[in-house]
C-alpha cells in the first residue's frame, strides 16, 4: 500500500512529509520533503503553545496549517513521482499546542488533555487523499497519556529476536523505546527522557538575538566546556526518577526553563555545551533506570530526529552510553529526519485498516485503541 505521513514536532522547525510503500512490517521510503515554517508562522505557533492567547489565533492556525501541510505532502508526492490519487491514506500528527498526559485537576475532576491543531478535513480536501488525524485522544479516552505513539512503529521496525535495542528520537524532546531481545508488545517500555534539542535551540536563539535557531553540526557547543555540576543539579528533578509512562514537552523545557538555565550565568559556548550534555545525560539516565539498567545495557541505540546532525551531542551520547553501539537509523533504511513522518504513515494505515496502534505498556492506557479520526476527501 502507498501511504503518506506528515509530522510537525515540538521544535516548531517545520513540516516533514513522506510517501512510503508499506508491506506488513516493511517500509520503503519513496520520498521525503521537509518544509520549514515561515518565521511568522513559527512565531504565531510559539505564541499559542502553552501560552495565554486569543481563541481566534488558535482557530485560524488550525485552518492555516493544513494548507501548509498539503503543500509539503504534494511536494513529497511530486518527488516520489506518485499521484496523490494512488495514495491510500495520509496520516497527519498535527501541531501540538498543549499536552498534559497526566490527569490534572479541572473543575472538580482530574482530566488528561492534549491538543493538536491542523484540520484533517481541509487537508483531505486539498490533497484528495483520506486523512487520519488527531491520533492522541483515543489513547487518552482509554486512560492513557496519549503519548508516546511511535513505539508501536519502533516495535514493528526495530524489534529483534536476539539483540536488545533502544530506539532514540532526538527532536525538541528526546524519547526512547526500549525493545528487549525477543520482546512482546507488552514488554515495551517507552517514555520521554527529557529535553532533546529544545534547550540548545532556545539558547542559540537567545545568544544570537534570534539569528540562529539551532547549533548547526554542534559546532558552537564544541567550543565550550561542560559544567558537570549543573548537569547533576538538573538531573535531580523528580521527573527523571519517576516511573514511566511519562511525557514532557515545551511545558517543562520552554521559556521558564530557559530563564532558569540562563541564571547559571555560563558563557554562551559553555551554556550550549552543558545543555547538550544534559540531553545526553538524561537519555543515559532513562536507559539506566528503566531500560535494562547499568547491568544489562542495550546492545544498540538507534538514533533518529534532527539531533543526529549535532555531532557534539552524538559524541556526548556515545560517552554516556559506552556499552552500547550508538547508530543512526539509516542503517535500518530509515532516514533519521523522516522517521516520525514515516511513523504516522504506518499509524494511519493501522487506523485505516481498523487495527489498534497504541501500546498500553507505553502510554498507560487500559486497552489497545484504534487511533485517530478519518476524514474523507
Ligand X SMILES: Nc1ncnc2c1ncn2[C@@H]1O[C@H](COP(=O)(O)OP(=O)(O)O)[C@@H](O)[C@H]1O
Q: Which residues bind Mg ion (CB under 5 A)?
A: 9, 11, 13
Binding partner at 307 among ligand X, Mg ion, none, C-beta below 5 to 8 Å by kind: ligand X
By CB under 6 A, tell whether 250 contacts ligand X: no
DSSP per-residue letters across 145-202: -S---THHHHHHHH--SS--EEEEEESSEEEEEEE-TT--GGG-EEEEEEESSHHHHH
Site string for ligand X, 339-358 (x = CB under 6 A): -x------------------
Cβ-closest residue to Mg ion? 9
Give the CA distances from residue 94 to residues 62, 247, 248, in Å, rounded to whole numbers and listed in that order.
9, 18, 17
DSSP per-residue letters across 251-297: HHHSHHHHHHHHTT---HHHHHHHHHHHHHHHHHHHHHHHSSTTTS-
CB of 238 to Mg ion, least distance (A): 28
CB of 306 to ligand X, least distance (A): 2
In the list 214, 278, 290, 352, the residue contacting ligand X (rule: CB under 6 A) is: 214
Kindly state the DSSP code that residue 320 receives in the 8-state scheme.
Answer: H
By CB under 6 A, tell whether 11 contacts ligand X: yes
By CB under 6 A, tell whether 297 contacts ligand X: no
CB of 62 to ligand X, least distance (A): 19
By CB under 6 A, tell whether 10 contacts ligand X: yes
CB of 74 to ligand X, least distance (A): 20
In the list 215, 270, 320, 350, the residue contacting ligand X (rule: CB under 6 A) is: 215
Nearest alpha-carbon partner for 362 in 153, 84, 123, 212: 153
Which DSSP helix (H) or strand (E) runs through 348?
helix 339-352
Residue 192, C-beta contacts closer than 8 angstroms, at least 6 positions apart: 147, 148, 173, 174, 175, 246, 247, 248, 249
By CB under 6 A, tell whether 91 contacts ligand X: no
Residue 286 or 305: the one with the smaller Cβ distance to ligand X is: 305
Binding partner at 201 among Mg ion, ligand X, none, C-beta below 5 to 8 Å by kind: ligand X
Residue 11 or 363: the one with the smaller Cβ distance to ligand X is: 11
Q: Hey, which residues between 177 and 206 contact ligand X (CB under 6 A)?
A: 197, 201
Residue 184 or 216: the one with the smaller Cβ distance to ligand X is: 216
Length of the chain: 377
Binding partner at 217 among Mg ion, ligand X, none, C-beta below 5 to 8 Å by kind: ligand X
Binding partner at 118 among Mg ion, ligand X, none, C-beta below 5 to 8 Å by kind: none
CB of 125 to ligand X, least distance (A): 25
By CB under 6 A, tell whether 216 contacts ligand X: yes
Binding partner at 310 among ligand X, Mg ion, none, C-beta below 5 to 8 Å by kind: ligand X
Nearest alpha-carbon partner for 33 in 8, 9, 15: 15
By CB under 6 A, tell whether 310 contacts ligand X: yes
CB of 148 to ligand X, least distance (A): 12
Q: Count the neighbouring beta carbons within 10 Å of the beta carbon of residue 217.
A: 13
Question: How many residues belong to the site for ligand X (CB under 6 A)?
Answer: 19
Answer yes or no: are the C-beta atoms of 179 and 160 closer than 8 Å: yes
Q: Which stretch binds ligand X (CB under 6 A): 98-106, 187-195, 233-241, 299-307?
A: 299-307
Binding partner at 4 among ligand X, Mg ion, none, C-beta below 5 to 8 Å by kind: none
Sign of CA dihedral 66, 71, 77, 79: negative
Nearest alpha-carbon partner for 95 in 123, 80, 66, 116: 116
CB of 307 to ligand X, least distance (A): 6
Q: Count the neighbouring beta carbons within 10 Å of the beta carbon of residue 19.
A: 29
Angle between helices 339-352 and 151-158 (to 10 degrees): 100
Contact residues: ligand X, CB under 6 A: 9-11, 13, 171-172, 197, 201, 214-218, 305-307, 309-310, 340
Amino acid at each position: 500500500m502507498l501511504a503518506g505521513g506528515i509530522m510537525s514536532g515540538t521544535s516548531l522547525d517545520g513540516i516533514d512529509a513522506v510517501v512510503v510503500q508499506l508491506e506488513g512490517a516493511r517500509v520503503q521510503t519513496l520520498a521525503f520533503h521537509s518544509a520549514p515554517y515561515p518565521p511568522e508562522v513559527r512565531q504565531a505557533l510559539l505564541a499559542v503553545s502553552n501560552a495565554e492567547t486569543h481563541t481566534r489565533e488558535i482557530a485560524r492556525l488550525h485552518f492555516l496549517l493544513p494548507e501548509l501541510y498539503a503543500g509539503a505532502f504534494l511536494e513529497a508526492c511530486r518527488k516520489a513521482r506518485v499521484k496523490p490519487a494512488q495514495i491510500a491514506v495520509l496520516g497527519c500528527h498535527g501541531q501540538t499546542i498543549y499536552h498534559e498526559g497526566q490527569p490534572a485537576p479541572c473543575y472538580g475532576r482530574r482530566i488528561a488533555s492534549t491538543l493538536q491543531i491542523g484540520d484533517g478535513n481541509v487537508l483531505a480536501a486539498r490533497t484528495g487523499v483520506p486523512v487520519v488525524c488527531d491520533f492522541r485522544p483515543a489513547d487518552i479516552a482509554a486512560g492513557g497519556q496519549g503519548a508516546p505513539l511511535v513505539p508501536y512503529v519502533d516495535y514493528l521496525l526495530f524489534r529483534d529476536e536476539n539483540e536488545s535495542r533502544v530506539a532514540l528520537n532526538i527532536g525538541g524532546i528526546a524519547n526512547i523505546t526500549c525493545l528487549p531481545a525477543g520482546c512482546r508488545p507488552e514488554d515495551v517500555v517507552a517514555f520521554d527522557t527529557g529535553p532533546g534539542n529544545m534547550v540548545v535551540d532556545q539558547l542559540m536563539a537567545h545568544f544570537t538575538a534570534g539569528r540562529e535557531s539551532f547549533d548547526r553540526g554542534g559546532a558552537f557547543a564544541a567550543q565550550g566546556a561542560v559544567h558537570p555540576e549543573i548537569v547533576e543539579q538538573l538531573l535531580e528533578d523528580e521527573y527523571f526518577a519517576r516511573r514511566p509512562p511519562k511525557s514532557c514537552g515545551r511545558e517543562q523545557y520552554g521559556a521558564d526553563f530557559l530563564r532558569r538555565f540562563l541564571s547559571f550565568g555560563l558563557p554562551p559556548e559553555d551554556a550550549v555545551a552543558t545543555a547538550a550534555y544534559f540531553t545526553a545525560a538524561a537519555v543515559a539516565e532513562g536507559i539506566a533506570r528503566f531500560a535494562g539498567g547499568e547491568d544489562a545495557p542495550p546492545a544498540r541505540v538507534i538514533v533518529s530526529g534532527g539531533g543526529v546532525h549535532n555531532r557534539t551531542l552524538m559524541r556526548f551520547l556515545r560517552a554516556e552510553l559506552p556499552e552500547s553501539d550508538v547508530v543512526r537509523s539509516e542503517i535500518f533504511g530509515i532516514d533519521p529526519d523522516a522517521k516520525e513522518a514515516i511513523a504516522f504513515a504506518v499509524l494511519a494505515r493501522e487506523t485505516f485498516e481498523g487495527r489498534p496502534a497504541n501500546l498500553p505498556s507505553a502510554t498507560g492506557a487500559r486497552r489497545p485503541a484504534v487511533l485517530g479520526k478519518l476524514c474523507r476527501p
